[in-house]
Chain A
Amino acid sequence: MEIERNELLRFSTAGSVDDGKSTLIGRLLYDSKSIFEDQLEAIENTSRKKGHDGVDLALFTDGLRDEREQGITIDVAYRYFTTPKRKFIIADTPGHVQYTRNMVTGASTANATIILVDARHGVIEQTKRHAFIASLLHIPHVIVCINKMDLVGFSEDVFHKIVNQFEEFAAKLLIRDIRFIPISALLGDNVVNRSDNMTWYQAAPLLHTLETMHISSDLNKVDARFPVQTVLRPQRDGFIDYRGYAGRIASGFYRKGDKVTVLPSGFSSKVKSITGPNGELEEAFAPMSIAIELEDDIDVSRGDMIVRSNNVPDSSQDIEVMLCWLNNRPAQPRAKYTLMHTSNEQKAMIREVMYKYDINTMERIKDDKQLTMNDISKVKLRTTKPLLIDAYKDNRFSGSLILIDDQTNETVAAGMII
């Protein structure tokens, strides 16, 4: 298939168990003709065994035995589909008990998130939580799908009431772009095809919205940040003196001849060459994987960052972050964790829990300092050496970090630098 706009859009879905999230994804794939016949056959068989009338599209997304048996989604799964306009990656996140952790995981790379609201119930606590997390993660686009419109007589009033409810509380959040779409995932209204039942709704159905959303400004193209992953030293014929710094541009542009500074050493040089996947380039931009050669022979290694000399990130050992705890084992007081930030790795300690969020009310809790699974809190971290940091709201890649528990090697927390 030729893809017209040739872009990749990543989106995640959020919704509680019975909001129809799986049905929506199934509908999106089914109506856009992205389900293969043998997959459909398998779903039809299972639907019949379970005694459903017709095909249960929700079955399409449950990949694991336990999920099919219990009818729940345990872990984030990724789905793919392509239309003549775009390629899509769906992070299908479970709306279950572990919602915060899963939402954070699924949404960390997403351009957009879909929040499902049951038209019969309107904005409930779960909706607020989802919107709050979307705002914390600075997901560039939020689409609120008001689902099950068929169960409220496709009422325009119900739709507007929910939109108003949502807008009222979202005023306190940081969401740049919100859209509202009335849908019925079960019947397919306004998912891929325009609804005949809701002619009062004039804007685009969900798929068209996803296809046309402006996403090329989602990445920071201003601050040049190049974390060095590894050093390429071929030492073979024709490349005896080659010393390339390999990495993926986190944000901004690099051009041949740019004056750059290597951090943390602070030495300056100029970009001598840029090699992309298809050879030499005059310029490169995020999110390209490239290798940079510098004019001068300076010591550069993994964990260093090459930046433009007139625009450098902050450097600090004391970092304030919004931390989402992801692990069953609570945070241990003053315990040391391994911190990963861009290609850099250091030891870090949680010095102080400033407050936790009650994500139902969005209020700050100051007297409970215990960090357990799914908690979101503002903490002070101290690292053994300074980190080169940007605020997460300006840069998702140089503003994010994870903590790893050295006792278990598990990733226990996700952090967004303030």
Chain B
Amino acid sequence: MSKYYLSYLEELESEAIFVLREVWAQFQNPVILFSGGKDSIVVTHLAKKAFYPSKIPFALMHVDTGHNFPETIEFRDRLIKDLGAQLIVGSVQESIDQGRVAEEKGKSATRNALQITTLLDAIESNKIDCAIGGGRRDEEKARAKERFFSHRDDFGQWDPKNQRPELWNLFNGKYFEGEHFRVFPISNWTEMDVWNYILQEKIEIPSLYLAHEREVVWRNNSWIPNSEFLRLDEREEVVTKKIRFRTLGDITITGGIESEADTLEKIVQEVSAMRQTERGNRSDDKRSENAMEDRKKLGYF
């Protein structure tokens, strides 16, 4: 530290901590949107640092599609206990049972789009005015346009053509009743930065990210995990492979990659040699060129 400038990871960390503290100062009832994926884990880790020695002053909110990896839920519950934090769960199954949304039909049906209603309902019923997320601008071209403080209207919608300009480090979090904000403290991080940081900080992550033996099915150019929610057609075959996941979403849509990377060091090495973006294995993004943008406009995370 004698050099009087920060390394890029230190600078990104400092920026994220600044943003998290700004959320705490400007909003009444913020939550961290926690999916159990590496990005929301990193955001939670940063929040721990931002408020140390105080506890994280935010509740964690999980939008539970019901189609989870069991490992994700175990990890979530353990982390919540360690942090002594409050967990809010928005359940897609409940939204379906209440008739708020209808299950998609067809072979490639997922509950991905259904999350939007559950998320917005949970935001409304818990009077949340700011949902902090692990979104990164490098993930997807529509996300490259996101602000740190991203305004959502009364319907939870994002209007990419009418975003508040963000200047210097002055974040405008003002809103009218019914509106809310999405805040992305790690906007400027790339997938590589996240992995380097996890390695540097020795942050615990779900075992799903590490290579392990698993039953999978080859579909849409990736290995989809076998689960009770998966409907196979006659040509599809369940095999056991050593795989790991680059991103974690619903068990029905998250594609694994064949890998021998069973330690963080090996993952960092593997990711730095990757020639595909991490969302290349998410079938929800492959539905159309504008899939992410369209979902975000409706209120998707």
Contacts and interface: CB of A to CB of B under 8 A. Distances in A.
Contacts of A287: 6, 11, 14-15
B142 A42 contact: no
Interface of B: 1, 3-8, 10-15, 17-18, 21-22, 24-25, 49-55, 137-138, 141-142, 144-145, 160-161, 163-170, 172, 174-176, 187-188, 190, 192-193, 272, 274-277, 280, 289-290, 293
A230 B24 contact: yes
Contacts of A411: 164-167, 172
- Return the 3 tightest CB-CB contacts between A and B, nearest first: A63-B141, A289-B17, A8-B8
A397 B10 CA distance: 19
A352 interface: no
A400 B8 contact: no
Contact of A80 (B53, B190, B272, B293): B190
A6 B53 CA distance: 29
B160 A64 contact: yes
A78 B144 contact: yes
Interface stretch (A242-250, A313-321, A377-385): A242-250
A216 interface: yes
Nearest to A3: B8
Given A105-B166, A410-B164, A78 B137 contact: yes
A333 interface: no
A248 B167 contact: no
Interface string A117-129: 0000000000000
Contact of A108 (B10, B51, B163, B168): B168
B13 A277 contact: yes
A200 interface: no
B2 to A, nearest CB: 9
Contacts of B15: 287, 289
Contacts of B51: 232, 246
Interface of A: 1, 3, 6-8, 36-39, 42, 46, 62-66, 68, 74-80, 82, 86-87, 89, 101, 104-105, 108-109, 216, 221, 229-230, 232-234, 236, 238-239, 242, 244, 246-248, 275, 277, 281, 285, 287-289, 291, 302, 326, 338, 340-341, 343, 396-397, 400-402, 404, 409-411, 414
Contacts of A64: 141-142, 145, 160, 293
Contact of A338 (B4, B50, B174, B272): B174
Nearest to B190: A80
A369 to B, nearest CB: 23
Contacts of B24: 230
A288 B167 contact: no
Contacts of A397: 168-169
A369 B25 CA distance: 36
Contact of A216 (B4, B8, B49, B137): B4
B54 A63 contact: no
B261 to A, nearest CB: 16
Contact of B7 (A6, A39, A221, A414): A6
A19 B141 CA distance: 22
Contacts of B4: 216, 221, 285
Contact of A247 (B21, B137, B167, B276): B21
A38 B281 CA distance: 10
A236 B53 contact: yes
